[in-house]
Structure 1
Amino acid sequence: MRIGVLGRVFISRSQNIFENLALEEWMLRNYRPDEESMLIWSNKPAVVIGRHQNPWLEADLNFLKSNNIELARRHSGGGAVYHDLGNLNISILTSHQRHERKRNLCMIAEALSQEFNIKVEPNNRNDLWLQPGQRKISGTAARIVRQVAYHHLTLLVNADIAILKRSLSSPFRETISTNATRSVQAPAVGCLVHEIPDITVEKVQNVVVESFKKQYSHTEVITLPNVTNDQQFPGVSEYEKELHNWEWIYGRTPQFTLSLYNDRIRVEHGIITESLKNQKLIGRALSGDIIQTYLGFAIKPILGIDTTKYLAEMKAYLCEVPKGYDPKLIALNATVVTALFGALIYPFYAYLIGDNAAAEEKQTV
Structure 2
Amino acid sequence: MLFRFRFPLIKFCRTYSTKHEPIHRIIYSSSTNIWFNLATEEWLSKTIKPNEHILFLWQNDKCAIIGRNQNPWKECFLERMNDDGVLLARRRSGGGAVYQDLGNTCFTFLISQAHHRLDKNLNSEILLDALQSSFNIEGHIHGRNDLVYGPDKRKFSGSAYQNTNKFALHHGTLITDVDTNAMKKYLNPNKEKLISKGVDSVQARVINLCEVNRSLNHKDLCLAIEESYRQTYSKYKIQSAEILSRETLDLIPDLNASYELFSDSQWRFGQTFSFTHEYEKRFPWGTISIGIISQRDGLIHTCEIYSDALYVNMINRLKDNLVGKMYTGESIRNVCQQTQKQVETDQEKAMIDDIQSWILTQI
Matched, 1:176 2:194: yes
Q: Distance in 2 between matches of 1:118 and 1:38?
A: 22
Q: Distance in 1 between matches of 2:38 and 2:353?
A: 41
Change (3 A) 1:263 1:159: same
Q: Distance in 2 between matches of 1:36 and 1:194?
A: 33
Q: Which runs of 5+ in 1 are unaligned?
A: 294-352
Shift of 1:355: 8.4
Q: Distance in 2 between matches of 1:220 and 1:256?
A: 48
Identity of matched residues, %: 30
Q: Distance in 1 between matches of 2:188 and 2:350?
A: 27
Matched, 1:270 2:298: yes
1:218 corresponds to = 237
Structure 2 length as normaliser, TM-score? Answer: 0.76
SS at match of 1:253: coil
Change (3 A) 1:354 1:14: closer
Moved >3 Å (runs of 4+): 230-234, 289-293, 357-361
SS at match of 1:238: helix
Q: Distance in 2 between matches of 1:222 and 1:119?
A: 27
Matched, 1:256 2:283: no
**Equivalent residues of 1:11, 1:221 under 8 A apart:** no
- Structure 1 residues 230-254: Cα deviation after superposition (integer angstroms, max 9, x where no partner): 5754411011011111110111111
**Equivalent residues of 1:26, 1:233 under 8 A apart:** no
Residue from 142, 150, 175 that aligns with 2:161: 142
**Equivalent residues of 2:325, 2:331 under 8 A apart:** no
User: What letter matches 1:41 in structure 2?
Assistant: W
Residue from 24, 30, 33 that aligns with 1:16: 33
User: What letter matches 2:158 in structure 1?
Assistant: G
User: What letter matches 2:70 in structure 1?
Assistant: Q
Report the RMSD for the aligned CA atoms in angstroms: 2.8
2:50 corresponds to = 33
Residue from 111, 120, 128 that aligns with 1:94: 111
Q: Distance in 1 between matches of 2:250 and 2:350?
A: 57
**Equivalent residues of 1:20, 1:41 under 8 A apart:** yes
Matched, 1:85 2:96: no
Change (3 A) 1:289 1:65: closer
Residue from 139, 162, 167 that aligns with 1:120: 139
1:240 corresponds to = 259
Shift of 1:68: 1.1
Shift of 1:53: 0.8
User: Looking at CA atoms only, which structure, 1 or 2, has the larger radius of gyration?
Assistant: 2
1:319 corresponds to = none
Shift of 1:180: 0.8
User: What letter matches 1:236 in structure 2?
Assistant: L
Structure 1 length as normaliser, TM-score? Answer: 0.75
Aligned length, in residue pairs: 301
SS at match of 1:79: coil
1:342 corresponds to = none
1:133 corresponds to = 152
Residue from 259, 282, 285 that aligns with 2:323: 282
